[in-house]
Structure 1
C-alpha cells in the first residue's frame, strides 16, 4: 500500500520532508516509524490524515502519516 509520510523538525535532517513510500498491507504507524530508524520514544505527535493517532493504528492505502518529534525547551 502507498503511504505519504511527512516528517517535521529535526526528523527531516538527512531524510526528507514528504515522501510516498510503499508498505505491506496491515502495516501500522509503528511499522513505519521503525522503518525510518526511529523509536516510539522519539515520537511527540503522530497523526494520520490530520488526526491524532495511536502507534498501533493500522494504516490504509493512500493514508498520510505525519510524524513530529518530542520538543524540549526551558
Structure 2
C-alpha cells in the first residue's frame, strides 16, 4: 500500500530521494498504523514546523488526517513575500 507524495519548494531539501517530476511513492506500512499525514511527514524527515498546508487528493486537510492506499499527498511550506 502506498501514496504518492509531492513536496513544494524548500520541503524538497529534506527528502534526497524526491524528484519534482515524478514525486515519491511512500509505503504506508513504513510510517506506522494508523498512517496519517503527520506520521508520514515525520517518516520522510519533514520538519512539522515548516509544513503549513497539506493537500490530500486535491483537498486541504489537517495533519491528523488518516491516509489510504492510492492517496495523493502534497505538503506546502509557508510562503513569504513583501
Q: Quickly name the TM-score band, shorter chain normalised.
A: 0.7 to 0.9
2:64 equivalent in structure 1: 56
5 Å-filtered alignment, 1:40-51, equals 40-51=48-59
Q: TM-score, normalised by structure 2?
A: 0.79
Quick one: distance in 1 between partners of 2:55 and 2:69?
Answer: 15
Structure 1 segments unaligned to the other structure (5+ residues): none
The two structures, once aligned, show a CA RMSD in angstroms of: 1.5
Quick one: distance in 2 between partners of 1:27 and 1:20?
Answer: 14
Structure 2 segments unaligned to the other structure (5+ residues): none
Q: Secondary structure at the match of 1:5?
A: strand
Runs of 4 or more, structure 1, over 3 Å off, are none
- Does the Cα contact within 8 Å between 1:30 and 1:56 map onto a contact in 2? yes
Q: TM-score, normalised by structure 1?
A: 0.87
